[in-house]
A and B are shown apart, each in its own frame.
Chain A
C-alpha cells in the first residue's frame, strides 16, 4: 500500500511538473473551465442578489394584507371598511396612545428612465401614511428629509436613484400631469424598498384619482406568533376574506418565480458550455497522455503499476479544472459581485438588486469545474493505464 501511494505521488509529481511543457494547451483548458464557472456563478449571484433584496425586505412581525387571490400589491384592492376591521383585529400591536400600528397603502406604477440605456421602465410609487416608514425595518434618510404631508413631495430609495435618471435631491419629476419634488433619499438595508418612490398617501390618492382606494395594509403584530390569530380572525369574518401573510412569506413568494427563472436559465446555459469545456479538457488530457507516452511506458517498464498512471492523469485534469474553477469564481467576484442591476418584479415594477456571490455559490461553481475535470480526465486516464509498454517505449 505504501509503495502504491509513493508511486501515485511520484506519478502526480511528474504529471504536474510536466505541465509547463504543455502550457498553452493547459491554459486553454483552465480558461474554458473558468468561463463556464463565470457564466454559472454570474447567474447564481444574480438570482441570489435578487432573492436577498426581496427576502431581506420582510419581517416576521409585520403582516401584509391583500385582496384574496392577489399575487401582488398591484392587483389588490382593499376597502376603507376592511381597513377598520383590520385595525381592530387581534394580534395587531398598538402604540403608547392605543392607536393600532397599521399602514394602508396605495401602490402605483410610474415611468422612469434607466441611466445606463435611457429606456423607459416601470417604477413603483407608494403612497404611505404616517406609520408607513415606521413599519419597515432599517429605514434611514441618507439625504434630505421626509416628505411633508399634503405636499407634492417624494422621497426615493438609494437603489432607484443609482439606476434611474432625474431623481437627484431637489430635482423635479413629472408623473402624468403632476410635478413632484424630490426632498429625500432613503436607505433600506439593500432591500426591495430601495427601489421605490414614496409620497403622502392622500396626495397620491387625490392626484391619481384613487380616492378611498387602497391596495395593501401593513400591520405590526404583537409578535411573530400573532399572525395565526390575525389569519383566524380574517377567515372567520365574511366581510374580510383577504390574504394575510407575514412580510417574510409574502416576499419569499415574490422572489421565488424570478429566482427560479434566473436559475433555470443559468444552469442549462452553464451545462451547455460545460460540454464545450469538456471537449477542451478531453483534448488537453489526450494530448497530455500522448506527450507523456514514453514517460508512462518507462515508468511501467521500471515496475510502476497501471493504477498510478491512471491516477496521475486524472489528478492532472482535476488540478487544471480546479484552477479554472477558482479562476472563474475569482473573476465572478471581481467583475460581478456587488454589481447593481434591476429587473421586473412580481408587481411589474423594477426591483434594484446587487449580484451577490457567496462562498456556497462559489463552491457550486468549483464543483461543476471538478465534474468537467473528472469526466474530461477519465477517458485519457484509462488510456494512460492501458498503454502497451512496448508501443509506448517506441514513442
Chain B
C-alpha cells in the first residue's frame, strides 16, 4: 500500500478512560492504515475496543495520544465545530439499531446529512431519491420507520449514510439486529457500495458470516490487531 492509497492512518494511538479513579487502557501505540476502497471487518471479543476504534475513525471520539490522519489531514486535534463539519463531508455512520428519527419519513431521514450541504431543495430531493433507489427502497420514501421491517430500516440508514457521498462508511454491527436473510441483504448492499461505488468501509461485527463479505478482517484483542486476509 503506497502512501497515496492510504485514506486513514492511525499512528501510535493511545486511548485511555478514567473510571472511578481507575485508568483503563483500550489502545496503546496502535497503528493502522486503511486504503482507499478497502472493506475491512473488525472482529474481536466484547470490550476489545472495536466500537472505540470506529468512534476514533469517525471523529466522534479523540485519542489520548497519537495522531489520526484522513486523506493526509490530521483530524484528531480539530475543534469540535470543524470536526462536525469534517464528519458531515467525509463520514457515513451505520448503527446496529439504525438510529433513524422515528417521527421523520424515510426520505426525511435520508435528507438529514444533506441539510449540512449547500444543496438546494430540488437537488436534495434528487439525491434522496437516488440514495433510496440504491438500497431498493424508492417506493418507501414516504413511510415512517415504524411502518418498515428491521432490514428496511437498516437500508434507510445506509441510504442516509451514503447520500452525501462520504468517502468512508463506518458500520457498527450493522446486521446485529437482523435475521440471516435480512443480514445478507444488508451485506450485499455494503459490498455493492464498496465494489461499484468505491466506498471505503470499516465494519465492526461479531458475525463471521458477515466478515466474509469484507476484503479483509482485522482481529482486535486487548488493544492489538492480528490480521488475516479473508478476501482470497
Binding site for B on A (CB under 8 A): 2-3, 6-7, 10, 13-14, 17-18, 21, 294-295, 298-306, 389-390, 393
Contacts of B85 in A (CB 8 A): 303
Contacts of B112 in A (CB 8 A): 10, 299, 302, 304
Q: Is B24 an interface residue (CB 8 A)?
A: no
Query: What are 18 A-B pairs with beta-carbon distances under 8 A?
Result: A3-B116, A3-B117, A6-B116, A14-B101, A14-B104, A17-B103, A295-B101, A299-B112, A302-B113, A303-B84, A303-B85, A303-B91, A303-B113, A304-B84, A306-B80, A306-B84, A389-B61, A393-B95
Q: Is B32 an interface residue (CB 8 A)?
A: no
Contacts of B116 in A (CB 8 A): 3, 6-7, 302-304
Contacts of A295 in B (CB 8 A): 99, 101
Residue on B nearest A3 in the bound complex, by CB: B116
Q: Is B9 an interface residue (CB 8 A)?
A: no
Instruction: Tell me whether B99 and A10 are in contact (CB under 8 A).
Output: no
Instruction: Tell me whether A301 and B81 are in contact (CB under 8 A).
Output: no
Q: Give the shortest distance, in Å, between B87 (CB) and chain A (any CB).
A: 5
Q: Is B55 an interface residue (CB 8 A)?
A: yes
Give the complex CA separation of A294 and B112 in angstroms: 15
Q: Is B223 an interface residue (CB 8 A)?
A: no
Give the complex CA separation of A155 and B104 in angstroms: 69
Give the complex CA separation of A306 and B84 in angstroms: 9
Give the complex CA separation of A295 and B84 in angstroms: 16
Give the complex CA separation of A393 and B58 in angstroms: 13
Q: Is B192 an interface residue (CB 8 A)?
A: no
Give the complex CA separation of A357 and B5 in angstroms: 74
Q: Is B130 an interface residue (CB 8 A)?
A: no
Q: Give the shortest distance, in Å, between B147 (CB) and chain A (any CB).
A: 15
Q: Give the shortest distance, in Å, between B70 (CB) and chain A (any CB).
A: 14
Instruction: Tell me whether B115 and A301 are in contact (CB under 8 A).
Output: no
Q: Is B78 an interface residue (CB 8 A)?
A: no
Give the complex CA separation of A297 and B101 in angstroms: 11
Residue on B nearest A20 in the bound complex, by CB: B103
Complex interface residues of chain B between 81 and 138 (CB less than 8 A to chain A): 81, 84-85, 87-89, 91, 93, 95, 99, 101-104, 112-113, 115-118
Q: Give the shortest distance, in Å, between B114 (CB) and chain A (any CB).
A: 9
Given contacts A6-B115, A303-B89, 4 further A-B contacts (CB under 8 A): A3-B118, A7-B116, A18-B103, A393-B60
Contacts of B58 in A (CB 8 A): 301
When the two chains form the complex, which single residue of A3, A17, A300 contacts B115, counting CB atoms closer than 8 Å?
Answer: A3
Chain B residues touching A, range: 20 to 34
Instruction: Tell me whether B115 and A390 are in contact (CB under 8 A).
Output: no
Q: A2, A18, A393: which has the most chain B beta carbons within 10 Å?
A: A393
Give the complex CA separation of A304 and B117 in angstroms: 11
Give the complex CA separation of A390 and B87 in angstroms: 14
Q: Label chain A's interface by main secondary structure.
A: helix
Q: Give the shortest distance, in Å, between B30 (CB) and chain A (any CB).
A: 17
Top 9 nearest A-B pairs (CB, nearest first) are A303-B88, A17-B103, A6-B115, A298-B99, A389-B60, A303-B87, A303-B116, A303-B84, A18-B103
Instruction: Tell me whether B117 and A301 are in contact (CB under 8 A).
Output: no
Contacts of B113 in A (CB 8 A): 302-303
Binding site for A on B (CB under 8 A): 55, 58, 60-61, 80-81, 84-85, 87-89, 91, 93, 95, 99, 101-104, 112-113, 115-118, 160
Q: Give the shortest distance, in Å, between B154 (CB) and chain A (any CB).
A: 14
Contacts of B80 in A (CB 8 A): 306
Q: B61, B89, B112: which has the most chain A beta carbons within 10 Å?
A: B112
Give the complex CA separation of A85 and B93 in angstroms: 96
A301-B93, A303-B113 known; A390-B60 Cβ under 8 A = yes
Q: Give the shortest distance, in Å, between B222 (CB) and chain A (any CB).
A: 20
Give the complex CA separation of A21 and B104 in angstroms: 13
Instruction: Tell me whether B103 and A390 are in contact (CB under 8 A).
Output: no
Give the complex CA separation of A299 and B87 in angstroms: 11
Residue on A nearest B85 in the bound complex, by CB: A303
Contacts of A7 in B (CB 8 A): 115-116
Instruction: Tell me whether A305 and B84 are in contact (CB under 8 A).
Output: yes
Q: Give the shortest distance, in Å, between A208 (CB) and chain B (any CB).
A: 75
Give the complex CA separation of A3 and B55 in angstroms: 24
Give the complex CA separation of A393 and B160 in angstroms: 17
Residue on B nearest A295 in the bound complex, by CB: B101
Give the complex CA separation of A300 and B55 in angstroms: 13
When the two chains form the complex, which single residue of A10, A298, A302, A393 contacts B88, counting CB atoms closer than 8 Å?
Answer: A302
Instruction: Tell me whether A305 and B115 are in contact (CB under 8 A).
Output: no
Contacts of A17 in B (CB 8 A): 103-104
Residue on B nearest A7 in the bound complex, by CB: B115
Contacts of A301 in B (CB 8 A): 58, 60, 87, 93
Q: Give the shortest distance, in Å, between B221 (CB) and chain A (any CB).
A: 21
Contacts of B84 in A (CB 8 A): 300, 303-306
Give the complex CA separation of A75 and B116 in angstroms: 76
Contacts of A306 in B (CB 8 A): 80-81, 84
Give the complex CA separation of A295 and B102 in angstroms: 9
Contacts of A21 in B (CB 8 A): 102-103
Contacts of B60 in A (CB 8 A): 300-301, 389-390, 393
Give the complex CA separation of A18 and B145 in angstroms: 13
Q: A18, A299, A301, A304: which has the most chain B beta carbons within 10 Å?
A: A301
Q: Give the shortest distance, in Å, between B128 (CB) and chain A (any CB).
A: 13
Contacts of B101 in A (CB 8 A): 14, 295, 298
Contacts of A390 in B (CB 8 A): 55, 60-61
Contacts of A304 in B (CB 8 A): 84, 112, 116
Instruction: Tell me whether B103 and A14 are in contact (CB under 8 A).
Output: yes
Give the complex CA separation of A18 and B102 in angstroms: 8
Give the complex CA separation of A183 and B124 in angstroms: 81
